[in-house]
C-alpha cells in the first residue's frame, strides 16, 4: 500500500543532537557540554518567574510588545526592527524558510553552527560549505562561493564551536562583497563574552542597509536556554516577512517575563562576563600546560584538541571525563574529530575538569 511521503530531502536530515546531561550510574554530574551560562538565570529572573506562575493559563502577548520595547530601548534600535523567537534557533529556521527554497543556495562555513545546514536541508536549498582558515571564517572563501543562486549566508561571529571570530573590518569586507539580494545573517549568540576592541556584533551593518540580520540569544550569558528566547535585529522587510510566517504565540509567557527581568539585571551580566573572562583564561592556560592545543577563544567555552594516538585521543578523553562524571562535547559532527568543546562553568567545575585532564594526560599543568 502507498503511504504518505514527506517532502523530498527531509528523511536525509540528521536531527540536531544536544549535549548529554546524564551518565548512567553517576550521581553528581558536571555538565559542560552546551555553553549554558555558568550561573543559571539571574536572581531577578528567578523572582519574576516565581511571581508569575499564577498567570501561566494566559496566552502570551503574540507581539512580544514589552520585551521588544525593552530590547529596542536598551540597544537604541527601532522596536519595529526587533523580532523575537523561541530561541534564536527558531529565527534561523524562519529566515531560511522565508529566503531560500529548492534550487537556491545557502552558504555556511566548514566548522559553523550545526543548525544552519539542518535548516538549509529542511527548506530544500543546496548547502554550500566554505572552507575555513585556522578554524576561522575565511571571507574570501565565502565570497568565492557566491553564485546567482545564493540567497543566504549564515555566519556565527564569534563562532561555535571554534570560539574564533573575524574582526570588524572582515565583517565589513564580507558585507561589501555581497550582492544586494543575498541576506547576510550574523549570529552574535556569544557577543557578550567577547573582549576585543576590533569586534562588532553587526548591529551597525543592519542599520546601514537592508540585507543584514543580527541574531542574539538569552541562552548563553543570561543562562536561560531552557526558556527559549532569542531575537533578531533586522531590516523592515525581513521583520515584516518573519512576522507573517511565525506562529502567533511563538514566544511563551514565562520566556517573555524572564527576558524582561533579565534585561534589567546589568549587574548579573557584568558578573557573568567577568567570571567567564577569568575562567576562560585560567582553563586555557591550564590545559595548554598539559601539552594540549587550545585555540584562543572569545566565547564561554574552549576547544581542546587531542593527538590522534590510541589512548590519548579526544574519544578516549571523552570517555575518561565521563568516568569522572564530567560531560563535555565531542566535535566529530563539526568536522573536528580530534576535539572536545568544554563550556566555562563554575570555579569548582573548571578545577574538576582540569584535574581530570591532568589525570588523563598523566601530566601536571605546572610541569
Ligand atoms: C547557542 C547558539 C544559538 C542560540 O540558540 P538558542 O536557540 O537561542 O538557544 C545560536 N547560534 C549559535 C551559534 C549558538 O551557539
Q: pLDDT for 234-261, tens place per residue? A: 999 999 999 999 999 999 999 999 999 9
Residue (of 218, 201, 223, 124) closest to 157 by Cα position: 201
Sort residue 152 into left (φ over 0), alpha (ψ -120 to 50) or beta: beta
Backbone φ, ψ for residue 73 (5° rounding): -65, -40
Residue 338 burial (C-beta neighbours within 10 Å; 0-12, 13-18, 19+): middle
pLDDT tens digits, residue range 147-159? 999 999 999 999 9
Tell me the CA–centroid distance for residue 46 and ligand 1, in Å: 22
Tell me the CA–centroid distance for residue 187 and ligand 1, in Å: 8
Tell me the CA–centroid distance for residue 153 and ligand 1, in Å: 16
With a 6 Å cutoff on the Cβ, whether 160 touches ligand 1 is yes
Nearest residue by C-alpha to atom 2 in ligand 1: 189
pLDDT at 165 over 90: yes
Residue range(s) of every CATH 3.90.1150.10 domain in the chain: 19-41+267-361
Tell me the CA–centroid distance for residue 89 and ligand 1, in Å: 6
With a 6 Å cutoff on the Cβ, whether 36 touches ligand 1 is no
Nearest residue by C-alpha to atom 11 in ligand 1: 189
Average pLDDT score, the chain:
96
Q: Which DSSP string corresponds to 215-245? A: EEESSSTT--TTT--EEEE--HHHHHHHHHH
Q: pLDDT-based confidence at 91, cuts 50/70/90? A: very high
In this structure, which topology does domain 19-41+267-361 adopt according to CATH?
3.90.1150
Residue (of 49, 68, 37) closest to 258 by Cα position: 49
In this structure, what C-alpha cell is assigned to residue 210? 537592508
pLDDT tens digits, residue range 287-338? 999 999 999 999 999 999 999 999 999 999 999 999 999 999 999 999 999 9
Tell me the CA–centroid distance for residue 159 and ligand 1, in Å: 10
Nearest residue by C-alpha to atom 4 in ligand 1: 88
Q: What is the reported pLDDT for 367?
A: 54
Q: What is the reported pLDDT for 185?
A: 98
86-102: average pLDDT: 98
47-73: average pLDDT: 97
Nearest residue by C-alpha to atom 12 in ligand 1: 189
What does pTM read for this prediction?
A: 0.96
Pairing assessment for the beta strands 183-187 and 230-233 based on DSSP bridges: unpaired
Q: pLDDT-based confidence at 366, cuts 50/70/90? A: low
Q: pLDDT-based confidence at 4, cuts 50/70/90? A: confident
With a 6 Å cutoff on the Cβ, whether 230 touches ligand 1 is yes
Nearest residue by C-alpha to atom 6 in ligand 1: 87
With a 6 Å cutoff on the Cβ, whether 109 touches ligand 1 is no
Residue range(s) of every CATH 3.40.640.10 domain in the chain: 43-264
Helix (H, G, I), strand (E, B) or coil at 288: helix
Tell me the CA–centroid distance for residue 25 and ligand 1, in Å: 30
Question: CATH number of the domain at 43-264, out of 3.40.50.800, 3.40.50.1000, 3.40.640.10, 2.40.37.10?
Answer: 3.40.640.10
Closest-lying ligand 1 atom to the alpha carbon of residue 220: 1
Q: What is the reported pLDDT for 354?
A: 98
Percent of the chain whose pLDDT exceeds 70: 99
Tell me the CA–centroid distance for residue 217 and ligand 1, in Å: 6
**What's the rounded Cα separation, in Å, for the pair 168 and 182?**
19
pLDDT at 360 over 90: yes
With a 6 Å cutoff on the Cβ, whether 343 touches ligand 1 is no
Amino acid at each position: 500500500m502507498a503511504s504518505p511521503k514527506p517532502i523530498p530531502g527531509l528523511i536525509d536530515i540528521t536531527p540536531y543532537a544536544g549535549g548529554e546531561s546524564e551518565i548512567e550510574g553517576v550521581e553528581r554530574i558536571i555538565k559542560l557540554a552546551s555553553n549554558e551560562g555558568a550561573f543559571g538565570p539571574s536572581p531577578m529572573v528567578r523572582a519574576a518567574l516565581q511571581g508569575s506562575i499564577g498567570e501561566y493559563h494566559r496566552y502570551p502577548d503574540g507581539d512580544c510588545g514589552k520585551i521588544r520595547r525593552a530590547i529596542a530601548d536598551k540597544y537604541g534600535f527601532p522596536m519595529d526592527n526587533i523580532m523575537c523567537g523561541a530561541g534564536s534557533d527558531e529565527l534561523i529556521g524562519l529566515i531560511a524558510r522565508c529566503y531560500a527554497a529548492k534550487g537556491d543556495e545557502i552558504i555556511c562555513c566548514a566548522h559553523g553552527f550545526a543548525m544552519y545546514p539542518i535548516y538549509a536541508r529542511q527548506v530544500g536549498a543546496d548547502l554550500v560549505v566554505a572552507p575555513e582558515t585556522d578554524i576561522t571564517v575565511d571571507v574570501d572563501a565565502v565570497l568565492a562561493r557566491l553564485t546567482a543562486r545564493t540567497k543566504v549566508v549564515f555566519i556565527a561571529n564569534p563562532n561555535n564551536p571554534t570560539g574564533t571570530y573575524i574582526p570588524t573590518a572582515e565583517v565589513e569586507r564580507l558585507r561589501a562583497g555581497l550582492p544586494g539580494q543575498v541576506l547576510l545573517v550574523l549570529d552574535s549568540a556569544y557577543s557578550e563574552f567577547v573582549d576585543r576592541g576590533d569586534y562588532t556584533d553587526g548591529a551597525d551593518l543592519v542599520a546601514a542597509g537592508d540585507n543584514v540580520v543580527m541574531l542574539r540569544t538569552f541562552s548563553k550569558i543570561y543562562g536561560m536556554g531552557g526558556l527559549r528566547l532569542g531575537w533578531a535585529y533586522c531590516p523592515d522587510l525581513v521583520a515584516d516577512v518573519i512576522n507573517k510566517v511565525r506562529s502567533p504565540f511563538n514566544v511563551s509567557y514565562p520566556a517573555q517575563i524572564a527576558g524582561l527581568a533579565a534585561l534589567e539585571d546589568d549587574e548579573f551580566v557584568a558578573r557573568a562576563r567577568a567570571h567567564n573572562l577569568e575562567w576562560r583564561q585560567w582553563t586555557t592556560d591550564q590545559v595548554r600546560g598539559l601539552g594540549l592545543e587550545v585555540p584562543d577563544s572569545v566565547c564561554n567555552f574552549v576547544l581542546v584538541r587531542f593527538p590522534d594516538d590510541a589512548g590519548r585521543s579526544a574519544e578516549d578523553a571523552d570517555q575518561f571525563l565521563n568516568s569522572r562524571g564530567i560531560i563535555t562535547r565531542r566535535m566529530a559532527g563539526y568536522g573536528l574529530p580530534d576535539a572536545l568543546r568544554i563550556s566555562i562553568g563554575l570555579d569548582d567545575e573548571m578545577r574538576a575538569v582540569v584535574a581530570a585532564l591532568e589525570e588523563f594526560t598523566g601530566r601536571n599543568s605546572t610541569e
